[in-house]
Chains A and B, each alone.
Chain A
Protein backbone atom coordinates (compact mmCIF):
# COMPACT_ATOMS: atom_id res chain seq x y z
CA UNK A 1 0.00 0.00 0.00
CA UNK A 2 1.41 3.34 -0.97
CA UNK A 3 0.71 5.97 1.59
CA UNK A 4 -0.33 9.36 0.26
CA UNK A 5 0.70 11.04 3.45
CA UNK A 6 4.37 11.43 4.17
CA UNK A 7 5.20 9.62 7.39
CA UNK A 8 6.78 12.71 8.89
CA UNK A 9 6.50 12.74 12.67
CA UNK A 10 4.82 16.15 12.66
CA UNK A 11 1.99 14.96 10.45
CA UNK A 12 1.12 11.94 12.57
CA UNK A 13 -2.15 12.30 14.42
CA UNK A 14 -1.75 12.19 18.16
CA UNK A 15 -4.52 11.61 20.61
CA UNK A 16 -4.96 14.80 22.65
CA UNK A 17 -4.66 14.44 26.43
CA UNK A 18 -8.04 13.59 27.94
CA UNK A 19 -8.43 15.72 31.02
CA UNK A 20 -5.71 18.17 31.87
CA UNK A 21 -4.63 20.28 28.92
CA UNK A 22 -1.61 21.93 30.50
CA UNK A 23 1.46 19.70 30.23
CA UNK A 24 2.95 20.98 33.48
CA UNK A 25 -0.16 20.33 35.59
CA UNK A 26 -0.74 16.99 33.93
CA UNK A 27 2.71 15.75 34.91
CA UNK A 28 2.48 17.34 38.37
CA UNK A 29 -0.91 15.85 39.20
CA UNK A 30 -0.25 12.39 37.82
CA UNK A 31 3.21 12.40 39.38
CA UNK A 32 1.83 13.48 42.75
CA UNK A 33 -0.79 10.77 42.59
CA UNK A 34 1.85 8.17 41.75
CA UNK A 35 3.99 9.30 44.69
CA UNK A 36 0.96 9.02 46.98
CA UNK A 37 0.31 5.54 45.64
CA UNK A 38 3.83 4.41 46.51
CA UNK A 39 3.50 5.86 50.02
CA UNK A 40 0.09 4.29 50.51
CA UNK A 41 1.21 0.86 49.33
CA UNK A 42 4.14 1.20 51.72
CA UNK A 43 1.70 1.50 54.63
CA UNK A 44 0.24 -1.97 54.10
CA UNK A 45 1.71 -4.28 56.69
CA UNK A 46 1.67 -7.86 55.54
CA UNK A 47 1.90 -10.64 58.09
CA UNK A 48 2.45 -13.69 55.91
CA UNK A 49 2.22 -16.24 58.72
CA UNK A 50 -1.17 -14.83 59.71
CA UNK A 51 -2.34 -14.92 56.10
CA UNK A 52 -1.25 -18.53 55.70
CA UNK A 53 -3.17 -19.41 58.85
CA UNK A 54 -6.09 -17.44 57.51
CA UNK A 55 -6.15 -19.26 54.19
CA UNK A 56 -7.30 -22.35 56.03
CA UNK A 57 -10.11 -20.34 57.63
CA UNK A 58 -10.93 -18.89 54.24
CA UNK A 59 -11.26 -22.40 52.86
CA UNK A 60 -13.49 -23.39 55.78
CA UNK A 61 -15.57 -20.27 55.24
CA UNK A 62 -16.07 -21.02 51.56
CA UNK A 63 -17.00 -24.58 52.47
CA UNK A 64 -19.49 -23.16 54.99
CA UNK A 65 -20.90 -20.91 52.31
CA UNK A 66 -21.32 -23.84 49.94
CA UNK A 67 -22.83 -26.11 52.61
CA UNK A 68 -24.89 -23.59 54.58
CA UNK A 69 -26.41 -24.75 57.84
CA UNK A 70 -29.85 -23.24 58.22
CA UNK A 71 -31.15 -25.64 60.84
CA UNK A 72 -29.00 -25.72 63.96
CA UNK A 73 -29.32 -22.00 64.73
CA UNK A 74 -32.55 -21.45 62.84
CA UNK A 75 -34.23 -19.75 65.81
CA UNK A 76 -31.51 -17.09 66.01
CA UNK A 77 -31.51 -16.61 62.26
CA UNK A 78 -35.29 -16.34 62.11
CA UNK A 79 -35.38 -13.83 64.94
CA UNK A 80 -32.64 -11.75 63.30
CA UNK A 81 -34.40 -11.73 59.94
CA UNK A 82 -37.75 -10.79 61.53
CA UNK A 83 -36.07 -7.96 63.42
CA UNK A 84 -34.36 -6.71 60.26
CA UNK A 85 -37.55 -6.78 58.20
CA UNK A 86 -39.75 -5.15 60.83
CA UNK A 87 -37.09 -2.52 61.51
CA UNK A 88 -36.97 -1.77 57.77
CA UNK A 89 -40.75 -1.41 57.49
CA UNK A 90 -41.19 0.78 60.59
CA UNK A 91 -38.16 2.96 59.89
CA UNK A 92 -39.13 3.49 56.24
CA UNK A 93 -42.71 4.49 57.11
CA UNK A 94 -41.79 6.79 60.01
CA UNK A 95 -38.72 8.20 58.27
CA UNK A 96 -40.61 9.05 55.09
CA UNK A 97 -43.51 10.60 57.03
CA UNK A 98 -41.06 12.90 58.82
CA UNK A 99 -39.09 13.55 55.62
CA UNK A 100 -42.02 15.01 53.71
CA UNK A 101 -42.56 18.15 55.83
CA UNK A 102 -38.79 18.61 56.19
CA UNK A 103 -38.32 18.20 52.45
CA UNK A 104 -41.05 20.77 51.73
CA UNK A 105 -39.51 23.11 54.30
CA UNK A 106 -36.08 22.75 52.71
CA UNK A 107 -37.25 23.73 49.23
CA UNK A 108 -36.21 27.31 48.59
CA UNK A 109 -39.05 28.17 46.24
CA UNK A 110 -41.93 27.46 48.63
CA UNK A 111 -40.51 27.93 52.13
CA UNK A 112 -39.49 31.16 53.87
CA UNK A 113 -35.75 31.34 54.47
CA UNK A 114 -35.65 30.64 58.28
CA UNK A 115 -37.59 27.40 57.74
CA UNK A 116 -35.40 26.62 54.75
CA UNK A 117 -32.21 27.09 56.82
CA UNK A 118 -33.45 24.93 59.72
CA UNK A 119 -34.57 22.10 57.44
CA UNK A 120 -31.38 22.17 55.38
CA UNK A 121 -29.28 21.88 58.55
CA UNK A 122 -31.30 18.88 59.76
CA UNK A 123 -30.62 17.25 56.39
CA UNK A 124 -26.90 18.08 56.57
CA UNK A 125 -26.55 16.55 60.06
CA UNK A 126 -28.39 13.41 59.05
CA UNK A 127 -26.26 12.93 55.94
CA UNK A 128 -22.89 13.67 57.52
CA UNK A 129 -22.62 10.58 59.70
CA UNK A 130 -22.59 6.94 58.74
CA UNK A 131 -25.54 4.87 59.91
CA UNK A 132 -23.18 2.83 62.07
CA UNK A 133 -22.04 5.88 64.01
CA UNK A 134 -25.61 7.01 64.60
CA UNK A 135 -26.42 3.45 65.69
CA UNK A 136 -23.61 3.52 68.27
CA UNK A 137 -25.07 6.68 69.80
CA UNK A 138 -28.64 5.39 69.78
CA UNK A 139 -27.61 2.06 71.30
CA UNK A 140 -25.85 3.97 74.07
CA UNK A 141 -29.01 6.01 74.68
CA UNK A 142 -31.83 3.52 74.09
CA UNK A 143 -30.18 0.24 74.97
CA UNK A 144 -29.51 -2.79 72.77
CA UNK A 145 -32.16 -4.09 70.41
CA UNK A 146 -34.19 -3.27 67.34
CA UNK A 147 -35.64 -0.02 68.73
CA UNK A 148 -32.25 1.70 68.47
CA UNK A 149 -31.90 0.30 64.96
CA UNK A 150 -35.34 1.59 64.02
CA UNK A 151 -34.36 5.09 65.19
CA UNK A 152 -31.05 4.93 63.30
CA UNK A 153 -32.67 3.95 60.03
CA UNK A 154 -35.44 6.54 60.42
CA UNK A 155 -32.85 9.23 61.03
CA UNK A 156 -30.82 8.21 57.99
CA UNK A 157 -34.00 8.05 55.87
CA UNK A 158 -34.80 11.67 56.73
CA UNK A 159 -31.51 12.94 55.31
CA UNK A 160 -31.87 10.94 52.11
CA UNK A 161 -35.55 11.49 51.25
CA UNK A 162 -35.77 15.12 52.41
CA UNK A 163 -32.75 16.19 50.40
CA UNK A 164 -33.88 14.56 47.18
CA UNK A 165 -37.48 15.71 47.69
CA UNK A 166 -36.38 19.29 48.32
CA UNK A 167 -34.15 19.28 45.23
CA UNK A 168 -37.05 17.91 43.25
CA UNK A 169 -39.50 20.56 44.50
CA UNK A 170 -36.99 23.27 43.61
CA UNK A 171 -36.97 21.97 40.03
CA UNK A 172 -40.75 21.84 39.46
CA UNK A 173 -42.31 23.52 36.47
CA UNK A 174 -43.16 27.01 37.73
CA UNK A 175 -45.80 27.53 35.04
CA UNK A 176 -48.11 25.02 36.71
CA UNK A 177 -47.70 26.68 40.10
CA UNK A 178 -48.39 30.02 38.41
CA UNK A 179 -51.57 28.65 36.87
CA UNK A 180 -52.85 27.39 40.21
CA UNK A 181 -51.86 30.65 41.89
CA UNK A 182 -53.87 32.52 39.27
CA UNK A 183 -57.02 30.78 40.49
CA UNK A 184 -56.46 32.45 43.86
CA UNK A 185 -55.11 29.38 45.63
CA UNK A 186 -53.43 29.66 49.03
CA UNK A 187 -50.10 28.07 50.03
CA UNK A 188 -51.59 24.71 50.95
CA UNK A 189 -53.58 24.55 47.74
CA UNK A 190 -50.48 25.33 45.69
CA UNK A 191 -48.57 22.55 47.42
CA UNK A 192 -51.46 20.14 46.96
CA UNK A 193 -52.46 20.92 43.36
CA UNK A 194 -49.32 22.31 41.72
CA UNK A 195 -46.33 20.75 43.52
CA UNK A 196 -47.59 17.40 44.75
CA UNK A 197 -48.73 15.98 41.38
CA UNK A 198 -45.35 16.87 39.88
CA UNK A 199 -43.15 15.32 42.56
CA UNK A 200 -45.33 12.41 43.70
CA UNK A 201 -44.11 9.78 41.18
CA UNK A 202 -40.52 10.54 42.04
CA UNK A 203 -41.24 10.57 45.77
CA UNK A 204 -42.76 7.10 45.53
CA UNK A 205 -39.76 5.93 43.52
CA UNK A 206 -37.31 7.35 46.04
CA UNK A 207 -39.25 5.85 48.96
CA UNK A 208 -39.11 2.39 47.44
CA UNK A 209 -35.41 2.82 46.77
CA UNK A 210 -34.94 3.85 50.39
CA UNK A 211 -36.79 0.74 51.62
CA UNK A 212 -34.22 -1.24 49.68
CA UNK A 213 -31.31 0.72 51.25
CA UNK A 214 -32.84 0.43 54.73
CA UNK A 215 -32.90 -3.34 54.45
CA UNK A 216 -29.24 -3.42 53.44
CA UNK A 217 -28.33 -1.19 56.37
CA UNK A 218 -30.50 -3.15 58.80
CA UNK A 219 -28.31 -6.16 58.04
CA UNK A 220 -25.21 -4.43 59.43
CA UNK A 221 -26.21 -2.12 62.26
CA UNK A 222 -26.67 -5.22 64.42
CA UNK A 223 -22.89 -5.47 64.53
CA UNK A 224 -22.85 -2.55 66.97
CA UNK A 225 -25.85 -3.86 68.92
CA UNK A 226 -28.80 -2.29 67.14
CA UNK A 227 -30.74 -5.51 66.47
CA UNK A 228 -31.33 -7.38 63.25
CA UNK A 229 -29.56 -10.11 61.33
CA UNK A 230 -26.16 -8.37 61.63
CA UNK A 231 -26.04 -9.27 65.32
CA UNK A 232 -26.64 -12.94 64.51
CA UNK A 233 -23.99 -12.83 61.79
CA UNK A 234 -21.47 -11.20 64.11
CA UNK A 235 -22.07 -13.84 66.81
CA UNK A 236 -21.70 -16.72 64.39
CA UNK A 237 -18.44 -15.25 63.02
CA UNK A 238 -17.09 -14.88 66.55
CA UNK A 239 -17.91 -18.52 67.24
CA UNK A 240 -16.12 -19.56 64.00
CA UNK A 241 -19.46 -21.08 63.05
CA UNK A 242 -18.95 -20.59 59.32
CA UNK A 243 -21.81 -22.87 58.23
CA UNK A 244 -24.33 -20.62 59.96
CA UNK A 245 -22.55 -17.46 58.77
CA UNK A 246 -22.76 -18.78 55.22
CA UNK A 247 -26.47 -19.45 55.62
CA UNK A 248 -27.04 -15.91 56.95
CA UNK A 249 -25.08 -14.35 54.08
CA UNK A 250 -27.08 -16.35 51.55
CA UNK A 251 -30.32 -15.15 53.16
CA UNK A 252 -29.12 -11.53 53.13
CA UNK A 253 -28.18 -11.75 49.44
CA UNK A 254 -31.54 -13.31 48.57
CA UNK A 255 -33.51 -10.70 50.51
CA UNK A 256 -31.52 -7.78 49.13
CA UNK A 257 -32.03 -9.08 45.60
CA UNK A 258 -35.76 -9.53 46.22
CA UNK A 259 -36.02 -6.04 47.70
CA UNK A 260 -34.07 -4.58 44.79
CA UNK A 261 -36.03 -6.31 42.06
CA UNK A 262 -39.33 -5.72 43.84
CA UNK A 263 -38.68 -2.04 44.33
CA UNK A 264 -37.36 -1.43 40.82
CA UNK A 265 -40.36 -3.31 39.39
CA UNK A 266 -42.86 -1.18 41.33
CA UNK A 267 -40.86 1.96 40.51
CA UNK A 268 -41.16 1.25 36.80
CA UNK A 269 -44.92 0.80 37.12
CA UNK A 270 -45.41 3.95 39.15
CA UNK A 271 -43.30 6.30 37.07
Chain B
Protein backbone atom coordinates (compact mmCIF):
# COMPACT_ATOMS: atom_id res chain seq x y z
CA UNK B 1 0.00 0.00 0.00
CA UNK B 2 1.56 3.29 -1.04
CA UNK B 3 2.02 5.69 1.81
CA UNK B 4 2.54 9.29 0.88
CA UNK B 5 2.43 12.56 2.70
CA UNK B 6 0.70 15.65 1.41
CA UNK B 7 3.45 18.17 0.93
CA UNK B 8 1.11 21.07 1.66
CA UNK B 9 0.19 20.35 5.25
CA UNK B 10 2.62 17.50 5.93
CA UNK B 11 0.03 15.23 7.54
CA UNK B 12 0.18 11.46 7.11
CA UNK B 13 -2.24 10.00 4.61
CA UNK B 14 -2.81 6.49 3.36
CA UNK B 15 -2.63 7.19 -0.38
CA UNK B 16 -1.00 9.67 -2.68
CA UNK B 17 -3.15 12.44 -4.17
CA UNK B 18 -3.19 10.60 -7.51
CA UNK B 19 -4.08 7.30 -5.88
CA UNK B 20 -6.97 8.94 -4.11
CA UNK B 21 -8.33 10.33 -7.38
CA UNK B 22 -8.04 6.90 -8.99
CA UNK B 23 -9.93 5.29 -6.12
CA UNK B 24 -12.71 7.88 -6.22
CA UNK B 25 -12.92 7.54 -10.00
CA UNK B 26 -13.29 3.79 -9.66
CA UNK B 27 -16.06 4.12 -7.10
CA UNK B 28 -17.81 6.73 -9.23
CA UNK B 29 -17.71 4.49 -12.31
CA UNK B 30 -19.10 1.61 -10.27
CA UNK B 31 -21.93 3.82 -9.00
CA UNK B 32 -22.81 4.92 -12.54
CA UNK B 33 -22.84 1.32 -13.81
CA UNK B 34 -25.00 0.33 -10.86
CA UNK B 35 -27.57 3.09 -11.43
CA UNK B 36 -27.76 2.32 -15.16
CA UNK B 37 -28.16 -1.41 -14.52
CA UNK B 38 -30.80 -0.73 -11.91
CA UNK B 39 -32.82 1.32 -14.38
CA UNK B 40 -32.55 -1.20 -17.21
CA UNK B 41 -33.33 -4.10 -14.90
CA UNK B 42 -36.43 -2.49 -13.45
CA UNK B 43 -37.95 -1.15 -16.66
CA UNK B 44 -40.66 -3.74 -16.56
CA UNK B 45 -40.85 -4.28 -12.82
CA UNK B 46 -44.37 -3.73 -11.55
CA UNK B 47 -43.78 -1.88 -8.29
CA UNK B 48 -47.30 -2.56 -7.05
CA UNK B 49 -46.34 -6.25 -6.79
CA UNK B 50 -43.18 -5.35 -4.91
CA UNK B 51 -45.08 -3.20 -2.42
CA UNK B 52 -47.50 -6.05 -2.02
CA UNK B 53 -44.72 -8.51 -1.21
CA UNK B 54 -44.87 -8.44 2.61
CA UNK B 55 -48.57 -9.26 2.46
CA UNK B 56 -47.90 -12.02 -0.09
CA UNK B 57 -45.14 -13.36 2.13
CA UNK B 58 -47.39 -13.42 5.17
CA UNK B 59 -50.04 -15.13 3.06
CA UNK B 60 -47.58 -17.82 1.93
CA UNK B 61 -46.48 -18.35 5.50
CA UNK B 62 -50.06 -18.77 6.71
CA UNK B 63 -50.73 -21.29 3.92
CA UNK B 64 -47.60 -23.30 4.56
CA UNK B 65 -48.20 -23.50 8.30
CA UNK B 66 -48.83 -26.03 9.74
CA UNK B 67 -46.81 -28.36 7.49
CA UNK B 68 -48.68 -31.46 6.30
CA UNK B 69 -46.42 -33.98 8.00
CA UNK B 70 -48.33 -37.00 6.67
CA UNK B 71 -46.98 -36.04 3.23
CA UNK B 72 -43.59 -37.21 4.49
CA UNK B 73 -44.48 -40.78 3.49
CA UNK B 74 -44.42 -39.78 -0.20
CA UNK B 75 -40.92 -38.34 0.12
CA UNK B 76 -38.74 -41.33 1.04
CA UNK B 77 -38.52 -42.75 -2.49
CA UNK B 78 -37.69 -39.34 -4.09
CA UNK B 79 -35.14 -38.70 -1.34
CA UNK B 80 -33.46 -42.05 -2.11
CA UNK B 81 -33.39 -41.09 -5.80
CA UNK B 82 -31.89 -37.71 -4.91
CA UNK B 83 -29.09 -39.30 -2.89
CA UNK B 84 -28.41 -41.78 -5.68
CA UNK B 85 -28.29 -39.05 -8.30
CA UNK B 86 -25.76 -37.12 -6.25
CA UNK B 87 -23.56 -40.12 -5.40
CA UNK B 88 -23.59 -41.90 -8.76
CA UNK B 89 -23.22 -38.55 -10.52
CA UNK B 90 -20.20 -37.68 -8.40
CA UNK B 91 -18.62 -41.08 -9.10
CA UNK B 92 -19.23 -40.87 -12.84
CA UNK B 93 -18.00 -37.27 -12.94
CA UNK B 94 -14.80 -38.01 -11.04
CA UNK B 95 -14.14 -41.08 -13.19
CA UNK B 96 -14.19 -38.80 -16.23
CA UNK B 97 -12.33 -35.98 -14.50
CA UNK B 98 -9.26 -38.02 -13.49
CA UNK B 99 -7.88 -38.75 -16.98
CA UNK B 100 -8.78 -35.20 -18.04
CA UNK B 101 -6.85 -33.77 -15.10
CA UNK B 102 -3.76 -35.82 -15.98
CA UNK B 103 -4.05 -34.58 -19.56
CA UNK B 104 -4.46 -30.99 -18.40
CA UNK B 105 -1.63 -30.87 -15.86
CA UNK B 106 1.50 -29.39 -17.38
CA UNK B 107 3.82 -32.00 -15.86
CA UNK B 108 1.85 -35.13 -16.82
CA UNK B 109 0.17 -34.12 -20.06
CA UNK B 110 1.13 -36.44 -22.93
CA UNK B 111 0.93 -33.57 -25.39
CA UNK B 112 1.16 -29.94 -24.35
CA UNK B 113 0.25 -28.61 -27.76
CA UNK B 114 -2.87 -30.59 -28.50
CA UNK B 115 -4.29 -32.63 -25.58
CA UNK B 116 -3.71 -30.04 -22.88
CA UNK B 117 -5.79 -27.26 -24.49
CA UNK B 118 -8.54 -29.76 -25.33
CA UNK B 119 -8.68 -31.00 -21.73
CA UNK B 120 -8.64 -27.44 -20.37
CA UNK B 121 -11.48 -26.49 -22.71
CA UNK B 122 -13.61 -29.43 -21.57
CA UNK B 123 -12.96 -28.49 -17.94
CA UNK B 124 -13.91 -24.84 -18.45
CA UNK B 125 -16.98 -25.67 -20.57
CA UNK B 126 -18.24 -28.10 -17.95
CA UNK B 127 -17.84 -25.48 -15.23
CA UNK B 128 -19.64 -22.77 -17.14
CA UNK B 129 -22.92 -24.65 -17.56
CA UNK B 130 -24.99 -25.14 -14.44
CA UNK B 131 -26.23 -28.65 -13.66
CA UNK B 132 -29.81 -27.43 -13.99
CA UNK B 133 -29.14 -26.52 -17.62
CA UNK B 134 -27.43 -29.87 -18.22
CA UNK B 135 -30.52 -31.53 -16.72
CA UNK B 136 -32.81 -29.46 -18.95
CA UNK B 137 -30.93 -30.72 -22.02
CA UNK B 138 -30.66 -34.32 -20.86
CA UNK B 139 -34.32 -34.60 -19.95
CA UNK B 140 -35.14 -33.48 -23.47
CA UNK B 141 -32.74 -36.05 -24.90
CA UNK B 142 -33.02 -39.20 -22.76
CA UNK B 143 -36.31 -38.48 -21.06
CA UNK B 144 -37.22 -37.75 -17.45
CA UNK B 145 -35.77 -39.96 -14.75
CA UNK B 146 -32.82 -40.52 -12.50
CA UNK B 147 -30.42 -41.25 -15.38
CA UNK B 148 -30.74 -37.71 -16.76
CA UNK B 149 -30.02 -36.38 -13.27
CA UNK B 150 -26.96 -38.59 -12.82
CA UNK B 151 -25.45 -37.51 -16.12
CA UNK B 152 -26.24 -33.84 -15.46
CA UNK B 153 -24.52 -34.00 -12.06
CA UNK B 154 -21.58 -35.89 -13.59
CA UNK B 155 -21.09 -33.41 -16.43
CA UNK B 156 -21.07 -30.48 -14.02
CA UNK B 157 -18.69 -32.25 -11.61
CA UNK B 158 -16.03 -32.91 -14.27
CA UNK B 159 -15.03 -29.26 -14.35
CA UNK B 160 -14.86 -28.84 -10.59
CA UNK B 161 -12.88 -31.99 -9.78
CA UNK B 162 -10.82 -31.71 -12.97
CA UNK B 163 -9.71 -28.16 -12.23
CA UNK B 164 -8.79 -28.75 -8.60
CA UNK B 165 -7.08 -32.07 -9.38
CA UNK B 166 -4.93 -30.77 -12.23
CA UNK B 167 -3.87 -27.83 -10.09
CA UNK B 168 -2.78 -30.13 -7.29
CA UNK B 169 -0.96 -32.41 -9.77
CA UNK B 170 0.97 -29.38 -10.99
CA UNK B 171 1.97 -28.55 -7.41
CA UNK B 172 3.47 -31.94 -6.48
CA UNK B 173 6.96 -32.41 -5.14
CA UNK B 174 9.08 -33.29 -8.20
CA UNK B 175 11.87 -34.88 -6.16
CA UNK B 176 9.65 -37.86 -5.36
CA UNK B 177 8.95 -38.32 -9.06
CA UNK B 178 12.69 -38.16 -9.68
CA UNK B 179 13.30 -40.82 -7.03
CA UNK B 180 10.78 -43.24 -8.52
CA UNK B 181 12.06 -42.55 -12.04
CA UNK B 182 15.57 -43.44 -10.83
CA UNK B 183 14.35 -46.97 -10.08
CA UNK B 184 13.57 -47.38 -13.77
CA UNK B 185 9.81 -47.02 -13.49
CA UNK B 186 7.68 -46.57 -16.60
CA UNK B 187 5.21 -43.76 -17.13
CA UNK B 188 2.28 -45.60 -15.53
CA UNK B 189 4.36 -46.72 -12.56
CA UNK B 190 5.54 -43.16 -12.16
CA UNK B 191 1.95 -41.98 -11.90
CA UNK B 192 1.00 -44.84 -9.60
CA UNK B 193 3.90 -44.60 -7.14
CA UNK B 194 5.05 -40.97 -7.29
CA UNK B 195 2.08 -38.81 -8.23
CA UNK B 196 -1.03 -40.59 -6.95
CA UNK B 197 0.14 -40.89 -3.32
CA UNK B 198 0.83 -37.15 -3.28
CA UNK B 199 -2.52 -36.04 -4.65
CA UNK B 200 -4.77 -38.78 -3.25
CA UNK B 201 -5.80 -37.11 0.03
CA UNK B 202 -6.59 -33.85 -1.79
CA UNK B 203 -8.46 -35.80 -4.46
CA UNK B 204 -10.64 -37.68 -1.99
CA UNK B 205 -11.24 -34.42 -0.11
CA UNK B 206 -12.43 -32.59 -3.21
CA UNK B 207 -14.60 -35.53 -4.31
CA UNK B 208 -16.36 -35.55 -0.95
CA UNK B 209 -16.74 -31.77 -1.12
CA UNK B 210 -18.26 -32.06 -4.58
CA UNK B 211 -20.58 -34.81 -3.34
CA UNK B 212 -21.80 -32.41 -0.66
CA UNK B 213 -22.44 -29.71 -3.30
CA UNK B 214 -24.12 -32.29 -5.53
CA UNK B 215 -26.57 -33.25 -2.80
CA UNK B 216 -27.75 -29.63 -2.83
CA UNK B 217 -27.89 -29.52 -6.61
CA UNK B 218 -29.71 -32.82 -6.97
CA UNK B 219 -32.54 -31.63 -4.71
CA UNK B 220 -33.65 -29.19 -7.41
CA UNK B 221 -32.99 -31.13 -10.62
CA UNK B 222 -36.54 -32.47 -10.44
CA UNK B 223 -37.81 -28.97 -11.25
CA UNK B 224 -36.85 -29.53 -14.89
CA UNK B 225 -38.02 -33.15 -14.95
CA UNK B 226 -35.08 -35.18 -13.69
CA UNK B 227 -36.11 -37.40 -10.82
CA UNK B 228 -35.77 -36.78 -7.10
CA UNK B 229 -37.34 -34.61 -4.46
CA UNK B 230 -37.43 -31.61 -6.81
CA UNK B 231 -40.12 -33.39 -8.82
CA UNK B 232 -42.28 -33.52 -5.70
CA UNK B 233 -41.51 -29.86 -5.10
CA UNK B 234 -42.56 -29.00 -8.64
CA UNK B 235 -45.82 -30.92 -8.22
CA UNK B 236 -46.63 -29.25 -4.92
CA UNK B 237 -45.81 -25.80 -6.30
CA UNK B 238 -48.00 -26.35 -9.34
CA UNK B 239 -50.96 -27.32 -7.18
CA UNK B 240 -50.18 -24.44 -4.76
CA UNK B 241 -49.97 -26.99 -1.94
CA UNK B 242 -47.80 -24.81 0.26
CA UNK B 243 -48.26 -26.98 3.33
CA UNK B 244 -46.52 -29.76 1.37
CA UNK B 245 -43.85 -27.36 0.11
CA UNK B 246 -42.87 -26.53 3.68
CA UNK B 247 -42.45 -30.25 4.46
CA UNK B 248 -40.26 -30.65 1.37
CA UNK B 249 -38.15 -27.63 2.37
CA UNK B 250 -37.67 -29.10 5.83
CA UNK B 251 -36.54 -32.43 4.35
CA UNK B 252 -34.16 -30.70 1.93
CA UNK B 253 -32.70 -28.57 4.73
CA UNK B 254 -32.14 -31.60 6.91
CA UNK B 255 -30.54 -33.58 4.06
CA UNK B 256 -28.20 -30.72 3.20
CA UNK B 257 -27.14 -30.30 6.83
CA UNK B 258 -26.47 -34.02 7.26
CA UNK B 259 -24.51 -34.14 3.98
CA UNK B 260 -22.41 -31.17 5.06
CA UNK B 261 -21.71 -32.78 8.43
CA UNK B 262 -20.68 -36.09 6.82
CA UNK B 263 -18.50 -34.32 4.29
CA UNK B 264 -16.68 -32.19 6.84
CA UNK B 265 -16.14 -35.24 9.12
CA UNK B 266 -14.66 -37.33 6.31
CA UNK B 267 -12.50 -34.51 5.03
CA UNK B 268 -11.12 -33.80 8.47
CA UNK B 269 -10.27 -37.48 8.87
CA UNK B 270 -8.36 -37.55 5.58
CA UNK B 271 -6.53 -34.26 5.25
Could you say which of A145, A233, A257 contacts B45, with CB atoms under 8 Å apart?
Answer: A145
Question: Does A115 reach chain B (CB closer than 8 Å)?
Answer: no
- Choose from A82, A142, A257 the contact partner of B40 (Cβ within 8 Å): A82
The answer on a CB contact under 8 Å between B223 and A256 is no
Q: How far is the CB of B195 from chain A (nearest CB, A)?
A: 14
Q: Which residues of A contact B33 (CB under 8 A)?
A: 89
Docked Cα-Cα span, A245 to B133, in Å, equals 11
B-contacting 9-mer, from A2-10, A43-51, A163-171, A173-181: A43-51
When C-beta atoms are compared, the residue in chain B nearest to A39 turns out to be B84
Q: CA of A19 to CA of B208 in the docked complex: distance in angstroms?
A: 14
B38-65 interface code vs A (CB 8 A; 1 in, 0 out): 1011101110011001001100100000
Q: Which of B41, B129, B270 contacts A249 (CB 8 A)?
A: B129
CB-defined contacts of B1 to chain A, threshold 8 Å = 197
B146 touches A216 (CB 8 A): no
Q: A14-53: which residues lie under 8 A (CB-CB) from chain B?
A: 18-19, 36-37, 40-41, 43-47, 50-51, 53
A47:B253 contact, CB within 8 angstroms:
no
* B46 and A143 contact, CB distance less than 8 A: yes
| A-facing residues in B228-264 (Cβ within 8 Å) | 233, 237, 249, 252-253, 256-257
Prevailing SS type, chain B contact patch? helix
* B128 contacts A253, C-beta separation under 8 Å: yes
Which of A68-76, A104-112, A126-134 interfaces with chain B? Answer: A126-134
Total interface residues on A, CB under 8 Å, equals 61
Does B37 count as interface, using CB distance less than 8 angstroms?
yes
**Which residue of A36, A41, A44, A150 contacts B41 across the interface (Cβ within 8 Å)?**
A150
Q: Bound state CA distance, A260 and B46, in angstroms?
A: 33
Contact A143 B49 (CB under 8 A): yes
Q: How many Å lie between the Cα of A47 and that of B220 in the bound state?
A: 22
Q: CB-CB < 8 A to B253: which residues of A?
A: 128-129
Chain A positions 194-252 with a Cβ under 8 Å from a chain B Cβ = 197, 216-217, 219-220, 223-224, 230, 233-234, 237, 240, 245, 249, 252
* Contact flag A223-B223 (CB < 8 Å), given A43-B80, A90-B38, A130-B217: yes
Q: Are B34 and A89 in contact (CB under 8 A)?
A: yes
Picked from B30, B81, B219, the residue with its CB within 8 Å of the CB of A43 is: B81
Shortest Cβ distance from residue B56 to the other chain A in the assembled complex, whole angstroms: 5
- Interface: B202 (CB within 8 A): no
Complex Cα–Cα for A249 and B128 (A): 10
**Is the Cβ of B256 less than 8 Å from the Cβ of A128?**
yes
Q: For residue B141, which residues in chain A have a CB less than 8 angstroms away from its CB? A: 54-55, 57-58, 61
A140 within 8 Å of B by Cβ?
yes
The complex places the Cα of A220 from the Cα of B220 at a distance, in Å, of: 12
**How many Å from the CB of A183 to the closest CB on chain B?**
12
Among B53, B143, B145, B249, the residue within 8 A (CB) of A142 is B53
Q: Please, which residue of chain B has its CB at the minimum distance from the CB of A137? A: B60
Report the bound CA distance from A120 to B88 in whole Å.
Answer: 33
Question: B41 contacts A146, CB within 8 Å?
Answer: yes
B56 to A46, Cβ gap below 8 A? no
Residue of B nearest to A259 (CB): B128
Which 7 pairs between the two chains have the least Cβ-Cβ distance? A256-B128, A143-B49, A86-B41, A50-B143, A86-B37, A89-B37, A58-B141
20 CB contacts below 8 A, A to B, read A44-B84, A45-B146, A57-B141, A90-B37, A90-B38, A129-B253, A130-B217, A130-B220, A132-B220, A140-B56, A141-B56, A141-B60, A142-B50, A143-B46, A145-B44, A146-B41, A150-B41, A220-B130, A233-B136, A257-B128
Which residues of A are at the interface with B, using a C-beta cutoff of 8 A?
18-19, 36-37, 40-41, 43-47, 50-51, 53-55, 57-58, 61, 82-83, 85-87, 89-90, 93, 128-130, 132-133, 136-137, 140-143, 145-147, 150, 197, 216-217, 219-220, 223-224, 230, 233-234, 237, 240, 245, 249, 252-253, 256-257, 260
